Structure 1
Amino acid sequence: MHEANNVAIIAVHEATEFSQARSTVVIGRVATNIIVPGLVLEAAVQIDSRHYLLFLTDDIIFEEWLTMVLIDINHGVKEIVRIGQAWASGYFENLSVKEEKITFRFLGEAEWRVKISLTALLRFPFFADPPAVHRAPGWKKYLTIDCLK
């Protein structure tokens, strides 16, 4: 697992009053058919030859949310997790990729840790995630998120 410098995004739909901007993923100058929510690619981590974790924002002042998207280049989006709060400014910084975990700072001094599983894990809705973490309802997850501070 390592930070990937060959990943980019190209905006395909601008944000509206009711929806987040959407972009297509480009890997190694080759456009994929994978559409992800977000306008600014903050960082990308390559997990293996097929899987990437993308960190995206929308460039909205005073309402910045961080969107993490786990993609499989053969099968598209596997999971989307968002970190943020209304009226909270967030800056993505201090990304660190080590063995099985990724750490970074977002929402002030908060330090976050992400662990990735390429097979689905059982998820208990409403009890599994720290405050400010939002994901679609369901019983499975690939990303485990912890707030360390």
Structure 2
Amino acid sequence: MQQHIREDASLAMAKEGNDYELATSFAIIAGRTSEEPLEGTVLEACVQHGDQYLVFLTDDIPFEDSLRIHLLDKDLNRIDTVTLGAPYTTGHFRNLTFEDSGVITFEFFGDCVWEVSVSPRKRLRLPFISGPRGVSWQNGWRHVLELRAKK
């Protein structure tokens, strides 16, 4: 799978956050803007994965920053979202790399390397038991994004 960082990606603020809701942003890739706002305000990276995009966004909340990985289709519609975060824990996104297998690795928090991949078909994800501690998926039972910790 051909993967590379998109240098022409940016964000436009959709809605400011408050005590009850997270801030959201529109993704802008190659001059096109997503119609649906995405949770997050800081663009950490945008990776083209075939004809899809993995958009890595953080919240810019001191001492409790979460990473959201949004998978968008070629028309910038959201396919799936996975979140990495925990109460009273902040992360620092770094060391993004691509493996020949199509897996993307990075560091965020914890003493581990995180791996994200896109499954060719949706898989069942049960809340609280289908992923490592600190990982949650957007609403629904079936997802294509896989996120795991590699020690």
Give the aligned residue type for 1:122. Answer: L
Aligned mates of 1:118, 1:10 — CA distance in 2: 30
TM-score in terms of structure 1 length: 0.91
Query: Contact 1:3–1:97 at 8 Å: present in 2 too?
Result: no
Aligned mates of 2:54, 2:128 — CA distance in 1: 24
Offset from partner CA, 1:91-128 (integer Å, 9 cap, x none): 00000022310000011433100111243223344322
5+ residue gaps, structure 2, are none
Aligned to 1:136: 138
Offset from partner CA, 1:36-72 (integer Å, 9 cap, x none): 11100000110122x1011100111100100111111
TM-score in terms of structure 2 length: 0.90
**Matched positions, count:** 148
Q: Secondary structure at the match of 1:55?
A: strand
Query: Contact 1:4–1:44 at 8 Å: present in 2 too?
Result: yes
Aligned to 2:148: 146
Query: Contact 1:24–1:36 at 8 Å: present in 2 too?
Result: yes
Aligned to 1:48: 50
For the aligned residue pairs, the C-alpha RMSD in angstroms reads: 1.6
Aligned to 2:97: 96
Aligned mates of 1:107, 1:33 — CA distance in 2: 31
Q: Tell me: CA distance 1:58–1:124, structure 2 relative to 1, closer, same or farther (3 Å).
A: closer
Aligned mates of 1:108, 1:130 — CA distance in 2: 12
Give the aligned residue type for 1:112. Answer: W
Q: Secondary structure at the match of 1:43?
A: strand
Aligned to 1:86: 87
5+ residue gaps, structure 1, are none
Structure 1 consecutive aligned stretches of length 4 or more whose deviation exceeds 6 Å: none
Give the aligned residue type for 1:53. Answer: L
Query: Contact 1:67–1:80 at 8 Å: present in 2 too?
Result: yes
Report deviation, 1:35. Answer: 1.6
Aligned mates of 1:147, 1:22 — CA distance in 2: 26
Give the 5 Å matches for 1:1-149: 1-49=3-51, 51-74=52-75, 76-99=77-100, 100-149=102-151
Q: Tell me: CA distance 1:27–1:118, structure 2 relative to 1, closer, same or farther (3 Å).
A: farther
Aligned mates of 2:93, 2:146 — CA distance in 1: 18
